[in-house]
C-alpha cells in the first residue's frame, strides 16, 4: 500500500488548523470516497500536549513520529519509501520541501495545492485566474504543499459514528532516531531573529481577515479595524496602498506581491479591489466589502457589499455584532 | 566575479486568461509579456553590486522560456546593465515542471562554464507562483541559499569570492531573521529589496550588441524529461464565475435604515453564510 507522510510543525503544544484540514481530507479519502489506498504517517516537529496527541490519534494514522527539528525529518522523508510527502504551505516548508525533492530521485513537487483526490492535485495559476489539475502518475515521490483553508475540518467523533463506529485506532508513536548526520546541503547561518512587536495569527492560516486599504488614511485608524477584528476573532490585513503609505506592516499585505489568503470570511474596508489585491484573496469563501464608491470593483467579487463611509459603517457593525 | 541572474518572462497581471480549446494551455495571442516583477529586484541588486565594484562583476542573465513571440526580457535586463545573456529555448510558453527548470538552469550554467560566485533570482514567478526553482537550483549546485530576502546590507568585503553577505527575510507572523550567507551562494529576492531602475536609452542601444548564447532543451539532455513530466499532462479550467452578491447602500441621514442594514448584514454572516 502506498504510504503518505504528513509533516506537522508544532507550536505551543499544538499543531496548526491547516494540519487538521489535511488529516480530515485524508481520512475522508480513505473511508468515504474509498478512492485512495494509502496509509498515513505523521511526523510532529516539536512538542505537542498529551491532549493534542489524543486528538491527533483519532485521525487514523499508522505511525506518529516525533522529531526535534525540521532537519531531522529529512532522512525519514527521503528514505522512508513514501509516495506522498505533504505539509501546509508555510515559510519553512517553502524552503524545506524543494530541497527534499532534490534529494530524491524522480521526485516531483507541487506547491500551494487546493485539492487532492488521491490521483490528482489542483493548484491555482495566474493568481487564481485559472486552476490546473496535475495527474500524479509517476512511480517517484510527490512532495506537496497545501494551501491552508482548502479543506474543512471533520468532526472526527461524528465521522466515526457514521463510518462504522469508533474503530480502535492503533497508532504507533515513535521518536525519529536517525539523526541527519551530515547535512548534504550547505546551510546559511542565522545571525539574529527579530521578533515581531506583537505576535499575531499568521494571515495565511487565519479563518477571518479584516483588511484595510488606502482609505484608512493613517496608522492610527487601523485601530478601528483591530476593534472589528477583536469582535470577529479575526486577523488584520492590508492592501499594498496601505502598506506603501506606512499605515500597515509589510507582513500584513494581501495580494499578488503579499500573502495569498483563503479565509472563510474576508472583510475588505476601503479597498478598491484592484486585480493584484484580488489575486491574493479571491478564493475566500465569503467576501464582505465596505466602500463608499458604489462602482468600486471589489463589489463585483463581494458576496455582500455595503456602500457607505467605513468610519460610519464599522462602528455600527461592531455595535451590532456585540448586541 | 560572475553574477548569474535568473529571469522569467510572464504574462502581465492585468492579462485576461483565455484557455486554448484543448484545455491544456492558455491562449497567448493577446498577452502582454513582462519581466517577472520579483526578478526585477534581482536584476537591480546585481546592478547595485556592479556599480559598487566599478563595473568589475560580469553579470549574466539566464532564462528558460519560449522564443516566440518575444525574447524582450533578456534585452531589457541587458539594457539595465547586464553584460550577457543565456537563453534556454522552449518551443512555446509552457508551465514547466520546476524540477526541470532547475535542472535546465544548472545544466546551462555548467555548459556556459563561467564559475558561479553569486546567483540571484526572484522569490517566485507570478504565473505559477511555485517558489521552488531557486531553492532547488541552490540545492543541486550545493550553494548556500537565502530565500525571499527583503533587505540587503552593504558590508565591506562581502561582495567578493568567499565573501559573507548579510540579508534579512520575513518569517511567519511578522518576525524576521538576519542571515549570513557565504559565497558562492544563491539569493532569492522579495518586494521591498530595492527600486528597480529603468533601462536608459544608451543602455537600450548597447544591449542590442551584447552577446546572447542559446541552448535548446535537447542540448542540455532534458527534452524527453520535460515531456515525461506530470506537469506536461496538466489540464486547465477557469474558476466558476461568482454570482453577483448583495449590495446595499447606506442612507447617510436615516438612522433607522442604517440600524436595519447592520442587522441584516450580521444576519447574513451568521445565518446565511454561517461564517461567524
Ligand atoms: C506588480 C504589482 C503588484 C501589486 N501587488 C499588490 C498586492 O500584493 N496587494 C495589493 O493590495 N495591491 C497590489 N498592487 C497595487 C494595486 O494595483 C492597487 O494599487 C492597490 O491594491 C490599491 O489599494 P487600495 O484598494 O487600498 O487603494 P485604492 O485603489 O486607492 O482604493 C481605496 C478605496 O477606498 C475607498 N474609500 C475611500 N474613502 C473611503 C471611506 N471613507 N469609506 C469607505 N471607502 C472609502 C475608495 O472608494 C476606493 O475604492 C500591485 C500593483 C502592481 C503593479
- Nearest chain A Cα distance for residue B59, angstroms: 23
> So what's the pLDDT on residue A184?
44
How far apart are the CA of A130 and the centre of ligand 1, in A?
23
Residue located via cell numbers 542565522: A190
**CA dihedral in degrees (A31, A34, A37, A41; nearest 10)?**
-20
Q: Write down how long chain A is.
A: 323
Residue limits of CATH 3.40.50.620 in chain A: 2-175
The closest of B107, B64, B67 to B91, measured between CA atoms, is B67
Q: Which one is predicted more confidently, A224 or A33?
A: A224
Residues B129 and B170 in one domain: yes
Cell of A90: 508555510
* Whether residues B228 and B248 fall in one domain: no
| Domains: count for chain B | 2
> Homologous superfamily of A2-175 in CATH?
HUPs (3.40.50.620)
Query: Is residue A180's pLDDT more than 60?
Result: no
Q: What is the pLDDT of residue A179?
A: 52
Judgement on whether residues B137 and B248 belong to the same structural domain of the protein = no
Task: State the nearest Cα–Cα gap between B211 and chain A, in angstroms.
Answer: 32
Residue intervals in chain A for CATH 3.40.50.1220: 203-322
Q: What is the pLDDT of residues B231-272, one digit of tens each?
A: 999 999 999 887 889 999 999 889 999 999 999 999 999 999
Contact A256 B139 (CB under 8 A): no
Residue B102: CB partners within 8 Å, gap ≥ 6? Answer: A102, B132, B133, B136, B137, B140
Long-range contacts of B261-265 (CB under 8 A, 24+ apart): B261/A306, B262/A316, B262/A317, B262/A319, B262/A320, B263/A320, B265/A288, B265/A304, B265/A306, B265/A317, B265/A320
CATH number for the domain spanning B153: value is 3.40.50.620
Instruction: Give the strand pairing for B9-11 and A84-88.
Output: unpaired
The pLDDT-based confidence of A181 (bands split at 50, 70, 90) is: very low
Q: Do residues B129 and A127 touch, judged by C-beta distance below 8 A?
A: yes
Q: Residue B260: which domain range?
A: 242-276
Superfamily of domain A203-322: TPP-binding domain (3.40.50.1220)
**Which of B31, B173, B235, B270 to substitute to test the interface with A, most A CBs within 10 Å?**
B173
pTM of the model: 0.91
Asked whether the beta carbons of residue A129 and residue B229 sit closer than 8 angstroms, the reply is: no
Question: Given this model, what pLDDT does residue A198 score?
Answer: 60
* Whole-angstrom distance, CA of residue B234 vs CA of residue B236: 7
Q: Which distant-in-sequence residues (6+ apart) come within 8 Å of A228 by Cβ?
A: A210, A234, A267, A269, A314, A317, A318, A321
Q: What are phi and psi of B147, to 5 degrees?
A: -105, 155
Scan for cell 509516495, then name that residue: A83
Q: How far apart are CA B61 and CA B64, in angstroms?
A: 10
**Banded pLDDT at A177 (limits 50, 70, 90):** low
| The three grid cell numbers given for residue B243, joined into one nine-digit string | 454570482
Give the separation between CA B33 and CA B38, rounded to whole angstroms: 14
Q: Quick one: B47 and B121 in the same domain? A: yes
Same domain, residue pair B227 and B273? no
- The span from the CA of B271 to the CA of A114, in Å, is 26
Can you give the pLDDT at residue B13? 87
Distance of alpha carbon A53 from alpha carbon A50, whole angstroms: 5
Q: What is the pLDDT of residue A31?
A: 81
Query: In the prediction, which pLDDT does A182 show?
Result: 45
Query: pLDDT, tens digit, for every residue of B113-171?
Result: 999 999 999 999 999 999 999 999 999 999 999 999 999 999 999 999 999 999 999 88
Tell which residue, B134, B124, B66, has the closest CA to residue B94: B66
Q: Quick one: B266 and B137 in the same domain? A: no
Question: Angle formed by the axes of helices A91-103 and B133-141, to 10°?
Answer: 50
Residue A259 DSSP symbol: B
Contact in structure between B7 and B35 (CB atoms under 8 Å): yes
Higher pLDDT, A202 or B205: B205
Yes or no: say if A309 and A290 are a contact pair by the CB < 8 Å rule.
no
ipTM beyond 0.85?
Answer: yes
Q: Tell me what percent of the residues of chain A surpass a pLDDT of 90.
A: 74
Pocket residues: Cβ below 6 A from ligand 1: A 213-215, 239-242, 253, 255-258, 270-272, 274, 276-277, 280, 290-293, 296, 309-311; B 13, 37
CB B184 within 8 A of CB B116: yes
Question: B38 with B9: CB under 8 angstroms?
Answer: no
Mean pLDDT over the full length of chain B: 95
Question: How many CB pairs (< 8 A) connect A and B?
Answer: 246
Same domain, B91 and B198: yes
Average pLDDT, stretch B33-49?
Answer: 97
pLDDT digits (tens, 9 = 90+) for A13-26: 999 999 999 999 99
Whether residue B185 is found in the same domain as residue B271: no
Percent of chain B having pLDDT more than 70? Answer: 99
Contact A320 B266 (CB under 8 A): yes
Same-domain pairing of B226 and B251? no
CA pair distance B119, B42, nearest whole angstrom: 9
Measured distance CA(B153)–CA(A274) in Å, rounded: 33
What nine digits make up the cell of B39?
526578478
Of all protein residues, the one whose alpha carbon is nearest to atom 37 of ligand 1 is A215
Residue B29's nearest CA partner among B18, B13, B44, B45 is B18
Whether the CB of B253 is below 8 Å from some CB of chain A: the reply is no
Domain identity same for B100 and B124: yes
Over residues A87-92, mean pLDDT: 94
Amino acid at each position: 500500500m502506498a504510504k503518505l507522510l504528513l509533516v506537522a510543525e508544532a507550536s505551543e503544544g499544538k499543531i496548526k488548523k491547516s494540519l487538521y484540514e489535511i488529516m480530515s481530507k485524508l481520512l475522508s479519502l480513505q473511508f468515504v470516497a474509498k478512492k485512495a489506498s494509502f496509509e498515513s504517517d505523521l511526523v510532529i516537529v516539536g512538542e505537542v500536549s498529551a491532549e493534542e496527541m489524543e486528538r491527533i490519534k483519532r485521525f487514523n494514522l499508522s505511525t506518529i513520529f516525533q522529531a526535534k527539528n525540521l532537519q531531522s525529518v529529512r532522512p525519514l522523508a527521503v528514505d522512508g519509501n513514501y509516495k506522498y510527502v505533504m505539509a501546509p504551505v508555510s515559510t519553512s516548508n517553502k524552503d524545506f520541501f524543494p530541497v527534499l525533492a532534490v534529494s530524491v530521485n524522480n521526485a516531483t513537487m507541487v506547491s500551494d495545492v487546493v485539492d487532492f483526490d488521491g490521483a490528482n492535485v489542483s493548484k491555482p495559476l495566474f493568481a487564481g485566474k485559472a486552476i490546473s489539475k496535475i495527474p500524479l502518475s509517476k512511480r517517484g515521490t510527490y512532495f506537496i504543499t497545501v494551501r491552508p483553508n482548502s479543506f474543512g475540518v471533520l468532526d472526527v467523533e461524528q465521522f466515526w459514528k457514521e463510518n462504522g463506529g469508533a474503530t480502535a485506532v492503533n497508532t504507533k508513536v515513535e521518536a525519529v532516531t536517525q539523526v541527519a548526520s551530515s547535512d548534504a546541503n550547505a546551510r546559511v547561518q542565522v545571525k539574529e531573529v527579530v521578533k515581531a512587536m506583537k505576535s499575531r495569527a499568521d494571515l495565511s492560516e487565519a479563518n477571518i481577515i479584516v483588511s484595510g486599504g488606502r482609505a484608512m488614511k493613517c496608522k492610527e485608524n487601523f485601530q478601528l479595524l483591530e476593534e472589528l477584528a477583536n469582535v470577529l476573532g479575526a486577523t488584520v490585513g492590508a492592501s499594498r496602498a496601505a502598506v506603501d503609505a506606512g499605515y500597515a506592516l509589510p507582513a500584513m499585505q494581501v495580494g499578488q506581491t503579499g500573502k495569498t489568503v483563503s479565509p472563510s470570511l474576508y472583510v475588505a474596508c476601503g479597498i478598491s479591489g484592484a486585480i493584484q489585491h484580488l489575486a491574493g484573496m479571491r478564493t475566500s469563501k465569503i467576501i464582505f466589502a465596505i466602500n463608499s464608491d458604489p462602482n468600486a470593483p471589489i463589489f463585483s467579487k463581494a458576496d455582500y457589499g455595503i456602500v457607505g463611509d467605513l468610519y460610519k459603517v464599522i462602528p455600527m457593525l461592531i455595535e451590532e455584532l456585540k448586541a | 566575479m560572475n553574477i548569474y541572474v535568473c529571469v522569467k518572462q510572464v504574462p502581465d497581471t492585468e492579462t485576461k486568461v483565455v484557455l486554448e480549446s484543448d484545455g491544456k494551455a492558455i491562449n497567448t495571442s493577446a498577452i502582454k509579456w513582462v519581466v517577472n516583477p520579483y526578478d526585477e529586484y534581482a536584476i537591480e541588486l546585481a546592478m547595485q553590486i556592479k556599480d559598487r565594484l566599478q563595473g568589475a562583476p560580469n553579470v549574466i542573465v539566464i532564462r528558460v522560456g519560449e522564443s516566440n513571440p518575444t525574447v524582450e526580457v533578456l534585452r531589457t535586463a541587458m539594457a539595465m546593465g547586464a553584460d550577457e545573456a543565456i537563453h534556454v529555448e522552449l518551443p512555446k510558453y509552457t508551465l514547466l515542471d520546476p524540477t526541470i527548470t532547475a535542472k535546465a538552469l544548472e545544466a546551462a550554467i555548467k555548459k556556459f562554464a563561467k564559475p558561479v560566485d553569486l546567483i540571484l533570482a526572484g522569490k517566485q514567478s507570478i504565473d505559477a507562483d511555485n517558489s521552488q526553482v531557486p531553492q532547488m537550483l541552490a540545492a543541486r549546485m550545493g550553494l548556500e541559499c537565502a530565500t525571499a530576502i527583503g533587505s540587503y546590507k552593504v558590508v565591506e568585503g562581502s561582495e567578493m569570492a568567499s565573501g559573507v553577505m548579510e540579508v534579512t527575510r520575513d518569517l511567519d507572523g511578522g518576525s524576521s531573521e538576519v542571515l549570513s550567507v557565504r559565497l558562492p551562494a544563491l539569493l532569492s529576492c522579495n518586494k521591498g529589496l530595492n527600486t528597480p531602475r529603468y533601462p536608459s536609452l544608451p543602455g537600450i542601444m548597447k544591449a542590442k550588441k551584447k552577446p546572447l548564447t542559446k541552448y535548446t532543451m535537447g542540448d542540455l539532455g532534458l527534452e524527453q524529461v520535460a515531456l515525461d513530466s506530470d506537469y506536461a499532462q496538466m489540464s486547465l479550467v477557469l474558476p466558476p464565475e461568482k454570482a453577483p452578491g448583495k449590495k446595499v447602500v447606506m442612507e447617510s441621514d436615516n438612522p433607522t435604515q442604517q440600524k436595519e442594514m447592520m442587522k441584516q448584514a450580521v444576519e447574513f454572516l451568521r445565518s446565511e453564510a454561517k461564517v461567524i
